[in-house]
Chains A and B, each alone.
Chain A
Amino acid sequence: MAFEKYDFTPITQSIHQALIENVSPLLTTIIEWTIIGVLYLLFIAVFGLFLVYAERKVCAAFQQRLGPMRVGPWGLLQTIADFIKLLMKELITPKSVDKFLYNLAPFIVIIVPFLTISVIPFAPGLQSLDFDIGIFFVTAVSSVGVIGVLLAGWASNNKYSLIGGMRSGAQIVSYELSVGMSLITMVILAGTMQVSEIVELQRGGWFLFKGHIPALIAFTVFVIAGTAETNRGPFDLAEAESELTAGFHTEYSGIKFAFFFLAEYINLFIVAAMATIVFLGGWMPFHFGDWAAFNNVMDFIPGLVWFFLKVFGIIFLIMWFKWTFPRLRIDQILTLEWKYLLPINLFNILLMATMVLLGWHW
């Protein structure tokens, strides 16, 4: 097929070959790890900054203003300037905090996106970890982040932070369920948990279309629960600035605050990427039935571009939520999860299982 020419496997293979011929296997592994680590680090830093910029521009568009315009063309360098500012800021540690936990919390929070991002296939051949339990790994690892948030809230020794941390804990633990269950619904359809295989299975059509009704329900639930899990949009209770000033990261300054900030945006990317992979076919181009000409044109666009187009579509949707809806109250958030999303999800799993059993999907 046409898009196979954008496969990254030859490049990675040739690097591996070159290394293994020249140095020992151990050194090869170490060097490869280092390259991957540096690439991910760069990606997270640059992409995080870009997402912050995107959010400010999207938000500005919704609020009928221009957003950052001064630093660089169209304010493109604004977030870089902000980042430099955050780097140079003094790291304030309040007197009565639990110093060890206080310093540990931002690292736990920032580690989670690093772990999760490893299973995401950006393009054919561009994926560092390809488990056969990839989906399970994502759901398992992404719940670790809540520990960091809870620690930050507790160790800050600030009542606002504590309320924020507790809210966040209750919220993330609840919404993990919905995220996991909507993914399971799709796993039933796919029959595998391996991320690359899930993408490959969507060559003939995205799961959103293949699984029609239950897939659509699962997609809706996933986007809602994903928004809640990233503490964003109408679910930003943990840092509700009009109630808790800044919630769990009130006492953090400088780069530690930047870690929370960055983690939030990378988590946003991960939620969008997971939605893309599971529902929208990952890096697969959009095909429409028998329209050969149309499909060929679509194939011409590289898989990497497709992946990021879809991701940005979902990120835009989630940003749209945030800048439109007022914030929910903590009991309403939990009601939404336990009384609405969870029963819908359970029913949906049943529906999907029946459908797969009877072969009603495309």
Chain B
Amino acid sequence: MAEFSEKYIITDEIKADEYLVNIGPQHPSTHGVLRLLTRLEGEIVHNVEPHIGYIHSGIEKMTEALSYPQIVHLTDRMDYLSAHMNNEAVCLCVENALQVEVPERVKYIRTIFDELQRLASHQLWWCASGMDLGALTAFFYGLRDREDILDIFEETCGARLTLNYSVPGGVMFDIHPNFQKSVKAFITKFRKKLPEYDKLLTDNIIFQNRTKGVGVLSKEDAIAFGVTGPTGRASGFSCDVRKHHPYSAYPYIKFDEKLGTDGDSFMRWKVRMDEMWESMNIIEQLIDNIPEGDFAVKMKGVIKLPEGEFYQRVESARGEFGVYIVSDGKKNPYRVKFRSPGFSNLFTINHIAKGWKIADLVAIMATFDLVIPDIDR
């Protein structure tokens, strides 16, 4: 094994005055088991080589032995912070393949859950990246507010993190009678809390100096590297799946795609902060108008997809999440591929972190919002 790992460690020559540092697999700012093999000169980063796979769980292989409703449960183990979006992607893919039209109520519920999940994810991102930049207090502010969303999730579907709420054909149960009330209460509360976030970090001069102009990703590079989500949008790459390929209740509502121009760490930060406002906006448009009706359509006991290939894209909190199912007509798929946003986003790091300091590498990683199981799958 030693021989093996040696083989992959050094990819190009180390020059004089350079040295290698392993950032990870266990490191506070990788937020998981990610290893960045960094070549440094003093504090200046010359090369970053991401090494992944430490928690590769072979979900794509496992799905080949499972039925479609079972696959849904595996998906929220990948990007656990956008669990509902992942669930929904598989459900939508299966529904599209079967030509099932879900009730309007389901679409509304799913969209509200999407946005709540996005809020929760961005809150966690906000507090964790605050911590990466050395502002530990931010961590507690973010977790405090995230708790409210998790309580709403728990009320309706019993789970707080891995929701498993979406099933092919609808959602698992109807929403809790208190759902609308508690969501509205949360939005009212969070609208007051979000400016606090700005006060604590966004307006802070140290924070701005740490992030402005750091790690610039140009629009061309964002497209070429397939960087999606808020990270890509900060570079001006209009990649919001909700806008360009609307699904669920997104066609019915008005919302803005937040686009940045600079593509630096601060812009990535700003875009996510603005997305939180936008998410609340979306929820407010939907929450009072949830139509009456069934919360699911009756599906067959054993779901068999027709022969063919189906691709479904959704916008997760990190970017474009895609499910590609190849079916040969049996009850379990022939091949399933998950296009995870983190995988494409991660490998841009070498491109943009070169020439910056090691502290900037941490800032860049923080604003990329990486979730390691999402990368490793």
Chain A interface (Cβ < 8 Å from any Cβ of B): 59, 62-65, 159-160, 163, 167, 234, 236-237, 240-243, 245, 323-332
Contacts and interface: CB of A to CB of B under 8 A. Distances in A.
Interface of B: 19, 21, 27-29, 43, 130-137, 139-141, 144, 200-201, 204, 206-207, 209-210, 357-360, 362
A324 B133 CA distance: 12
Contacts of A167: 43
Contacts of B21: 159-160
A243 B356 CA distance: 14
A33 to B, nearest CB: 42
A242 B133 contact: yes
Given A163-B358, A328-B209, 14 more contacts: A159-B19, A163-B43, A236-B134, A242-B362, A243-B359, A324-B200, A325-B134, A326-B130, A326-B204, A327-B133, A327-B210, A327-B359, A328-B210, A329-B209
A59 B27 CA distance: 23
Contacts of B131: 242
A63 B358 contact: no
A165 to B, nearest CB: 13
Nearest to A233: B134
Contact of B28 (A234, A236, A245, A324): A245
A238 to B, nearest CB: 12
A325 B135 contact: yes
Nearest to B23: A243
Contact of B204 (A63, A64, A236, A325): A325
A64 B27 contact: no
Given A327-B359, A328-B206, A330-B43, A242 B134 contact: yes
A246 to B, nearest CB: 9
B134 A240 contact: yes
A330 B357 contact: yes
Nearest to A236: B134
A243 B358 CA distance: 7
A325 B132 contact: no
A327 B207 CA distance: 8
A64 B140 contact: yes
Contacts of A241: 28
A64 B27 CA distance: 26
A331 B357 CA distance: 9
B143 to A, nearest CB: 10
B210 A326 contact: yes
Contact of B132 (A159, A160, A242, A330): A242
17 contacts: A59-B136, A63-B136, A159-B19, A160-B21, A167-B43, A237-B359, A242-B133, A243-B362, A324-B200, A326-B134, A326-B210, A327-B133, A327-B134, A327-B210, A328-B209, A329-B357, A332-B210
Contacts of A331: 357
- Which 7 pairs from chain A and chain B are nearest by CB? A327-B134, A63-B140, A326-B135, A326-B133, A242-B29, A329-B359, A242-B132
Contacts of A62: 137
A329 B210 contact: yes
B211 to A, nearest CB: 9
B29 A243 contact: yes
Given A236-B134, A330-B357, A325 B28 contact: no
Nearest to A335: B209
A236 B135 CA distance: 11
A240 B363 CA distance: 13
Q: Which of A159, A242, A327 has the most CB of B within 10 A?
A: A242
B31 to A, nearest CB: 10
A290 B358 CA distance: 57
A330 B137 CA distance: 21
B108 to A, nearest CB: 34
Contacts of B141: 63-64
Contacts of A242: 28-29, 131-134, 362
A234 B137 contact: no
A241 B360 CA distance: 14
Contacts of A234: 134, 206
A35 B359 CA distance: 47
A316 to B, nearest CB: 15
A141 B133 CA distance: 32
Nearest to A324: B137
A245 B27 contact: yes
A323 B140 CA distance: 11
A62 B141 CA distance: 10
Instruction: Kindly name the residue among A240, A243, A323 whose own CB sees the greatest number of chain B CB atoms within 10 A.
Output: A243
Contact of B206 (A159, A160, A245, A325): A325
A325 B19 CA distance: 31
B133 to A, nearest CB: 4
A208 to B, nearest CB: 25
B35 to A, nearest CB: 14
Contact of A323 (B137, B144, B206, B209): B137
Given A160-B21, A329-B210, A324 B135 contact: yes
B27 A326 contact: no
A326 B211 CA distance: 11
- Which of A65, A160, A329 has the largest count of B CB atoms less than 10 A from its CB? A329
Nearest to B132: A242
Contacts of A163: 43, 358
Nearest to A159: B21
Contacts of A160: 21
A236 to B, nearest CB: 7
Contacts of A245: 27-28
Contacts of A326: 130, 133-135, 201, 204, 206-207, 210
Nearest to A241: B28
Contacts of B209: 328-329, 332
B360 A329 contact: yes
Contacts of B132: 242
Contact of A65 (B134, B140, B357, B360): B140
Nearest to A235: B134
Contacts of A237: 359
A330 B206 CA distance: 12
A52 to B, nearest CB: 16
A116 to B, nearest CB: 27
Contacts of A240: 134, 359
Contacts of B204: 325-326
Nearest to A62: B137
A234 B144 CA distance: 23
Contacts of A323: 136-137
A325 B135 CA distance: 6
B184 to A, nearest CB: 24
Contacts of B207: 326
